Structure 1
Amino acid sequence: MFLVCVSGFLLGMLVPFCEGFSPSTVANINQAALDYVAERGRSSFQNALKMQLPDLPDPNQGGLQRIPVFMFDNSIPQFTLKFIPNYGIRLSAAGHVNMKVFLKKNLLKLQVGVNISADVVISQATIGSLLVDVSLCKSTTEEISVTYKEDELKELWNPLREYVRVILPDKLCSKLHFMVEELNVYMGTMTGIYPLGPESQISYSLTHPPTITEEHMSLNVSTTFYLLGKPIVLPPRVSSFSLPHQVGSKNAMVNFVLPKELFDSIYFLMQKSGSINLDITGQLNSENNQLTTLVLGNLIPEVHRQFPKSMPIMMKARISSVPTSTILGDEVSLKLPYYLEVLVVSSNSAFKSLFSLDVIVELKLRMFVSGVKLQASISFLKDIELKVNASNMGVFDLEKVKPLITSTFKNPLLEHLNALFGLGAMLPNIAKLNYITPEVFVHEGYIVVSCGLHFQS
């Protein structure tokens, strides 16, 4: 399973391709990631080498009898992975394997030094995922030493040395090829769609084969958004974003570069799904309920005249146009334009519109990563702006009404948005993968997430 670790986390950036405009996202995988994967993969590789080898013909029986041979408790202390520019990854491993040879009445234990070198080519599959294959594998055996013997069998030594020289390198490379084939099956199962909100989803696909240098691997991925399981068409955008030469932390295993266009698309999806709309009603049994015609009638006489008996009020907030975001310096902000309608609820559950307002809400977003999700906490950047859109209550003094509207609108809105943004957007990932020690860097026009990797056992 060590190759799952090698390339598995790359898979998270790869999911089914979908036509149409999609914002670009970049993921840089550094040498630190390969070092971590090599450390994790070393024990997996050792365990994978525990296997039964083909039986050794017994020279005393003219080859008619077979001698069972097993490998066990292998030790591969040297295990490294390095990028091959414009190609893939080079695996180098060295150590020894321990072999048991079961004679008729005796047991022989051997220790065989091994060196393995393999070139793993990384390309793009037709479905938009990574494709990994071993293009070259070379394995050699070194010194053979006896660690335990129950009898002196000199006539076995020459056949045994030849057996090890011929059989073992082929078995080691065959095991490596098999593990890569397993990996591609595993990678294929990870393509899919991730939830983004109550009714929306997000997916990623590789747009080009990976760019590989001696220092890192760079993946260009496109993003597709879904509403109720169907891809949505994003409004056309002209991107001015260009990837800087150095992004994020040099010591991080992975640096995700998330441009402003990605966040604008997420906010557009939120608008289309209605997830940032809000209905607000007062607690009718509460003595402090401010959303009644009695309270509002003290500020707008016409409300009291039409509704002398106190009745509940509802506020319906609907996004009136596409939200706009700003990523500048160390600040991420979001402007939400709302159409806010104030209605009275009659006894027969019918609604009568009292008046409507155009509302501008400007928010500050603090981005952070939890698990595999990019999340945000929301606070108000400035006071909300109100403007009368229409009124069935005649002309009224908005300044008198503003404190009531503001006090009853801001807290529910903030709670709603924090809950929504707290759901987070899934970063490209695979099963059993978490991003650890994340750092979020805000630059003009884009955000960088730098993090380490942790694979759960």
Structure 2
Amino acid sequence: MFLICTLGFLLGMLVPFCEAFEPSTVVRINQPALDYVAQMGHSYFKTALKIRLPDILDPKEGYFQQIPVFIVDNDISNFNLTFIPNYGIRLSGAGHINMTVFLKTNLQKLRVGIDIGADIVITQSTIGSPFVGVSFCKSKIKEISVTYREDGLKELWKPMAGYIRIILPDKLCSRLQFLIEGLNVYMGTLLGLHPLGPESQISYSLTQLPTITKEHMSLNISVTFYLLGKPIVLPPRVSSFSLPQQVGAKNAMVNFALPKELFDSIYFLMQKSGSINLDITGQLNSKNNQLTTSVLGNLIPEVRRQFSKSMPITLKARINATPVPTIQRNKTSLLLNYHLEVLAVSSNSAFNSLFSMDMIVNLKLNMIVSAMKLQANVSLLNDIELKVTSSNVGDFDLSKVNPFIISAVKSPLIEHLNSLFGLGAILPTVASVNYNTPQVFMYEGYIVVSCGLQFQK
């Protein structure tokens, strides 16, 4: 099962296609990942070889007698996976299998040397998902030796050796093919939507066949975003992202390359969903509450005149432009443009607009990977910038009001954004395989996540 699970991760991320513009990402599978699969997965192949072979017929005393033949265990010490450039993956194995032959109360034990090789190809099924198959398999029987023989069975040696050389090669290949093609059933677990925010989801699809070199296999994966379960149409853009040869951690099993266009789309989705918006409301019975007309009236005389009785103030921050991420070497930032409206609750519980402002928030993003998700911790990169756009309380001294607004907005906004970005975007993954020791690297225009793979039983 581990071989199936992990190769499923390596060979595809499945979801339905969407005709709208979709950003893409690159998942690069490196040779150390195949080494890990070979190291951990060959025991499943060894287990699959513990089978009963078809009975052989023993001509003795004028009649045929059925003789059960079992493969009881094996020692396949060499089990390797390597890339075949522009084609697929080559599997090779070598070792010995131990067989038992029963005839009445007598027993014979054999040790058989084997070599097996197979080429694994990756195509697409009719539903658009990757399909893994064995295009070529060949097994070779080497030496056959008797490790234990009871009396009366010497005459079986020649027919037994011939039987093994005829039957066993096909059996070895059929068991290997069964394991690999079983992957296509398991890959169905990759279908579906993954939560991205309170009302949004993300999904992945393999848009073309992998690009395979001697050192790695690259999967170009399309990303589709959903709002309330429906795919959203993203603003058209041109992407020419190409992943350089040497990126991320040296000897990483897997590299996820996440270009700026992907983050553009994520933040556009957040804008569409309204999840970046924020309302901050003062409460009169709260200690040290500054969001009241009496406090603001000390800074703006017209507010004090309009509200003789102290009333709570509400700040409504609404994104009025698509967030702009910037990815540079060792630094990622996000520029947010808000329309901030300052309202007061009147005596009849209606909201009166006092004034509105443009608010520019420049954030520093600290990218991390946790629980299979790419997350971010945010902090202010620069001071919040404010500019008055309209006023119903006349002209006022902005230098006095700015500290009041910034003080009221700063902590709730950062707390809200940290909670939102802490939800994270799940990376393409498969059940039972976790990312081990992930590292995040920032380059000009894209982010790379390097990680190992860890199988969870």
* Length-normalised TM-score, structure 1: 0.95
Letter paired with 2:344: V
Q: 1:284 to 1:9 in 2, by over 3 A?
A: farther
**Structure 1 Cα separation of the partners of residues 341 and 26 of structure 2:** 42
SS of 2:182's partner is helix
**Structure 2 Cα separation of the partners of residues 87 and 12 of structure 1:** 15
Question: Which digits, 9 at most, give the CA deviation of each residue in 1:203-234, with x for residues without a partner?
Answer: 12222211111111111122111111111111
Q: 1:240 to 1:42 in 2, by over 3 A?
A: closer
Contact 1:437 1:452 in 2 (8 A): yes
Contact 1:204 1:428 in 2 (8 A): yes
Q: 1:47 to 1:455 in 2, by over 3 A?
A: same
- 1:291 paired with 2:291, answer yes
SS of 2:60's partner is helix
Long gaps (5+) in structure 2: none
Equivalent residue number for residue 273 of structure 2? 273
**Structure 1 Cα separation of the partners of residues 127 and 332 of structure 2:** 34
Matched ranges for 1:343-382 at <5 A: 343-346=343-346, 348-382=348-382
Matched ranges for 1:19-98 at <5 A: 19-60=19-60, 64-98=64-98
Question: Which digits, 9 at most, give the CA deviation of each residue in 1:134-158, with x for residues without a partner?
Answer: 0111112222233344444112222
**Structure 2 Cα separation of the partners of residues 413 and 127 of structure 1:** 44
Taking only aligned residues, the RMSD between alpha carbons, in angstroms, comes to: 1.9
Q: 1:40 to 1:435 in 2, by over 3 A?
A: same
Equivalent residue number for residue 325 of structure 2? 325
How far the C-alpha of 1:268 sits from its partner, in A, is 0.3
SS of 1:202's partner is strand
SS of 1:305's partner is helix
Equivalent residue number for residue 113 of structure 2? 113
Equivalent residue number for residue 178 of structure 1? 178
Q: 1:398 to 1:54 in 2, by over 3 A?
A: same
State the aligned residue count.
457
Equivalent residue number for residue 214 of structure 2? 214
Equivalent residue number for residue 454 of structure 1? 454
Contact 1:15 1:127 in 2 (8 A): no
Q: 1:118 to 1:242 in 2, by over 3 A?
A: closer
Q: 1:62 to 1:209 in 2, by over 3 A?
A: farther
**Structure 2 Cα separation of the partners of residues 209 and 117 of structure 1:** 23
Q: 1:292 to 1:89 in 2, by over 3 A?
A: same
Greater shift, 288-297 or 340-349, is seen at: 340-349
Q: 1:357 to 1:106 in 2, by over 3 A?
A: same
Matched ranges for 1:404-423 at <5 A: 404-423=404-423
Q: 1:80 to 1:310 in 2, by over 3 A?
A: same
Q: 1:433 to 1:393 in 2, by over 3 A?
A: same
SS of 1:19's partner is coil
Q: 1:166 to 1:338 in 2, by over 3 A?
A: same
Greater shift, 360-369 or 120-129, is seen at: 120-129
Contact 1:2 1:45 in 2 (8 A): no
Equivalent residue number for residue 225 of structure 1? 225
SS of 2:198's partner is coil
How far the C-alpha of 1:346 sits from its partner, in A, is 3.9
How far the C-alpha of 1:266 sits from its partner, in A, is 0.5
SS of 1:435's partner is strand
Letter paired with 1:190: L
Contact 2:283 2:312 in 1 (8 A): no
Q: 1:400 to 1:145 in 2, by over 3 A?
A: same
Q: 1:11 to 1:230 in 2, by over 3 A?
A: farther
**Structure 1 Cα separation of the partners of residues 128 and 205 of structure 2:** 5
* Length-normalised TM-score, structure 2: 0.95
Equivalent residue number for residue 430 of structure 1? 430
Contact 1:367 1:374 in 2 (8 A): yes
How far the C-alpha of 1:118 sits from its partner, in A, is 0.6
SS of 1:336's partner is strand
Q: 1:110 to 1:287 in 2, by over 3 A?
A: same
**Structure 2 Cα separation of the partners of residues 201 and 37 of structure 1:** 30
**Structure 1 Cα separation of the partners of residues 389 and 17 of structure 2:** 43
**Structure 2 Cα separation of the partners of residues 357 and 144 of structure 1:** 86
**Structure 2 Cα separation of the partners of residues 173 and 12 of structure 1:** 24
How far the C-alpha of 1:246 sits from its partner, in A, is 2.8
How far the C-alpha of 1:91 sits from its partner, in A, is 0.5
Q: 1:62 to 1:166 in 2, by over 3 A?
A: farther
**Structure 2 Cα separation of the partners of residues 412 and 61 of structure 1:** 93
Greater shift, 244-253 or 25-34, is seen at: 244-253
Equivalent residue number for residue 137 of structure 2? 137
Equivalent residue number for residue 10 of structure 1? 10
Contact 1:124 1:210 in 2 (8 A): no
Contact 2:6 2:433 in 1 (8 A): no
Long gaps (5+) in structure 1: none
Q: 1:257 to 1:141 in 2, by over 3 A?
A: same
Equivalent residue number for residue 244 of structure 1? 244
SS of 1:65's partner is strand
